[in-house]
Amino acid sequence: MSTYQSLLQQKSELDTLIAEAQHREKSQAVAQARALVDQYGLNVDDVFGKKNTTGARTAGARATVAPKYRDPATGATWTGRGREPVWIKGKDRAAYAI
């Protein structure tokens, strides 16, 4: 049976081996990536996509939805998505259709 101190020593040795292996494999991966970039003439935009500098969302941006219902008393509108407004809740929606 191993003692606590010997197990800590083994852990320390394993941590060192893990760090060395990670460094070696990471260096190989970087070398492969650089070779592919050189081979195909890739740039940052090719690999990671264009950076959005406007601040607007690009991927998955949602379009606005036209309202389907209008409250004649207040002029408030609702698209039919999400939670029902109080003014239409439990009522016939056809009367409020735009």
pLDDT tens-place string over residues 3-39: 999 999 999 999 999 999 999 999 999 999 999 999 9
List the single range of 11-15, 17-21, 48-52, 71-75 with lowest mean pLDDT: 48-52
- The reply to whether 56 falls in a domain is no
Same domain, yes or no, for 41 and 83?
no
Same domain, yes or no, for 38 and 73?
no
Domain that holds residue 81: 64-98
For the chain, what is the radius of gyration of the CA atoms? Answer: 30
Same domain, yes or no, for 43 and 70?
no
Same domain, yes or no, for 72 and 44?
no
Q: Is the pLDDT of residue 55 over 80?
A: no
Q: Which of 63, 67, 74, 73 is nearest to 97 (CA)?
A: 67
Q: Which of 38, 60, 58, 61 is nearest to 50 (CA)?
A: 58
Same domain, yes or no, for 38 and 78?
no
SS3 content of the chain, % helix, strand, coil (to 5): 45, 5, 50
Q: Which of 51, 95, 91 is nearest to 70 (CA)?
A: 95
Give the count of domains, the chain. Answer: 2
